Amino acid sequence: MPFHLLDAMHREGFEEVRALHDRRSGLRAFLGVHDTARGPAFGGIRRWEYRDESEALLDCLRLARAMTRKCALAELPAGGAKLVVLAKSGVDWNGAYRYIGRAVEAMGGRFYTGPDVGTGDSELACVAEETAFVTKPGPAGPGALAESTAQGVFHSIATCLRHLDGEENWTARTVCVQGLGAVGSHLARFLMERGVHVLGADVDTERATVMEQELGIELVDPNLALDQSCDVLAPCALGGLLHDVTLERLRCRIVAGGANNVLARRLHGDRLHERGILYAPDFIVNSGALIRGALFHLDDHREPAEAIGERIGGTLETVLERSRAEDATPLRVAVAEADERILAWREASG
């Protein structure tokens, strides 16, 4: 079935989608701006080996839309965007990121960008050579982005446990952290400090071994992370993890993690609910870095990471209470709440 971009933009309420191509560096990328009704759009730069342009474009749209929902539920005066870069050989990446910086600067503050998969401090430093509308690495930037996201995941797990059992009871819990990168490693540390039995999995065996030695977590085969018997599965790697096949392997009570778009499709949230597994909507759980970055750029304020985590936990608690009252899945409640707010913003802005 052919994909029609303008139809998709109309259906999902997108303002703008740009294709970026730089002849000199070899850059090929898409920039999607979903919403600026309440303020500038925020979204990181994701560099990934997509199968083709269509997959990259669809990922750009999904991630940008999710960012707007994050902003809505976090009550930020901002909207969502995303920039996805097709990773391929032969690209002058320093030049490519400087080109991105010029493209961001040309938008005049409608779009702020920052880190994501494949884009770290060195790449952002190149972007920052060309624009101020970027999360700068080091003391000039907001800092603590991964820690803020991990705090959001931690407090979301706590909220889910209280929702199901009335208490956290950390020392009796087992949590499987799938992905031990910047967010997953912070989360594992927070959990270990409270006496949780932490299972850890990562395709990078060297990184996993370091975490095992530093924290004392129990490593499991990354191919078997979903099969672990645990209270909580915390996906902290890439999205699209849970689909028709993988859902049947789960042996957890809660899914709450730092990854974006954990579910392949929204209907998989319904299937988790049918299986009695509580799914904490990812665009609430992993919004810590967005909140930290937006408050820094818009208010010149560095919100403490733990305060951000508590804020996210409170938002999730409200969604879970509404979910219980309406006998609806948390994901559908969160989407409805976010979209109601977005529609109100758009109507107010004319």
Per-residue pLDDT at 138? 82
Question: Above pLDDT 90, what percent of the chain?
Answer: 89
Shared domain for 196 and 328, answered yes or no, is: yes
Residue 93 inside a domain? The answer is: yes
Shared domain for 122 and 195, answered yes or no, is: no
The mean pLDDT value for 321-350 works out to: 92
Segments of the chain assigned E as strands: 16-21, 28-33, 41-42, 45-48, 79-86, 111-112, 174-178, 197-201, 218-219, 232-235, 254-255, 278-279
Q: Residue written as tokens 């303008």?
A: 6
User: What band does 17 get if pLDDT is binned at 50, 70 and 90?
Assistant: very high
Burial of 94 by CB count in 10 Å (0-12 exposed, 13-18 middle, 19+ buried)? Answer: middle
Pairwise CA distance, residues 191 & 130, whole Å: 40
Considering only residues 157 and 266, tell me which one the structure prediction assigns the higher pLDDT.
Answer: 157
Shared domain for 190 and 328, answered yes or no, is: yes
Task: Say what the pTM is.
Answer: 0.92
Q: What are the tens digits of pLDDT across the range 42-89?
A: 999 999 999 999 999 999 999 999 999 999 999 999 999 999 999 999
Residue 294 inside a domain? The answer is: no
User: What band does 292 get if pLDDT is binned at 50, 70 and 90?
Assistant: very high
Shared domain for 92 and 219, answered yes or no, is: no
CATH number assigned to the domain comprising residue 41: 3.40.50.10860
Query: Catalytic annotation on 82?
Result: yes
Residue 89 inside a domain? The answer is: yes
Shared domain for 187 and 92, answered yes or no, is: no
Residue 308 inside a domain? The answer is: no
Q: Which of 70, 82, 88, 136 is catalytic?
A: 82
Residue 108 inside a domain? The answer is: yes
**Nearby residues of 272 by Cβ (< 8 Å), 6 or more positions away:** 242, 247, 250, 255, 278, 279, 329
Shared domain for 150 and 269, answered yes or no, is: yes
User: What band does 261 get if pLDDT is binned at 50, 70 and 90?
Assistant: confident
DSSP designation for 171: G
Q: How far is CA 261 from the centre of its chain?
A: 7
Residue 319 inside a domain? The answer is: yes
Q: Is the pLDDT of residue 92 over 90?
A: yes
Last residue of a domain, one of 137, 155, 177: 137
Shared domain for 211 and 112, answered yes or no, is: no
User: What band does 1 get if pLDDT is binned at 50, 70 and 90?
Assistant: low
Per-residue pLDDT at 117? 87
Residue 269 inside a domain? The answer is: yes
Shared domain for 201 and 281, answered yes or no, is: yes
Per-residue pLDDT at 2? 64
User: What band does 260 get if pLDDT is binned at 50, 70 and 90?
Assistant: confident
What type of residue sits at position 81?
A: A
Least confident of 251-255, 262-266, 286-290: 262-266
Per-residue pLDDT at 43? 96
* Number of alpha helices (DSSP H) and beta strands (DSSP E) in the chain: 12, 12
Pairwise CA distance, residues 309 & 301, whole Å: 16
For residue 235, list its beta bridge partners: 178
Q: Residue written as tokens 């508590």?
A: 310
Shared domain for 329 and 186, answered yes or no, is: yes
Q: Is the CA virtual torsion 122, 59, 5, 16 positive or negative?
A: negative
CATH number assigned to the domain comprising residue 249: 3.40.50.720
- As a dihedral over the C-alpha atoms of residue 68, residue 69, residue 73, residue 74, rounded to 10 degrees, the angle is -40
The number of folded domains in the chain is: 2
Angle formed by the axes of helices 93-106 and 121-128, nearest 10°: 50
Mean pLDDT, the chain, as a whole number? 94
Q: Tokens representing 82? A: 């995303």
Residue 279 inside a domain? The answer is: yes
User: What band does 240 get if pLDDT is binned at 50, 70 and 90?
Assistant: confident
Shared domain for 330 and 207, answered yes or no, is: yes
Per-residue pLDDT at 349? 79
Last residue of a domain, one of 137, 164, 185: 137
Last residue of a domain, one of 137, 160, 186: 137
Q: What are the tens digits of pLDDT across the range 124-180?
A: 999 999 999 999 888 888 989 999 999 999 999 999 999 999 999 999 999 999 999
**Domain range holding 58?**
5-68+79-137
The mean pLDDT value for 31-52 works out to: 95
Shared domain for 149 and 132, answered yes or no, is: no
Shared domain for 277 and 197, answered yes or no, is: yes
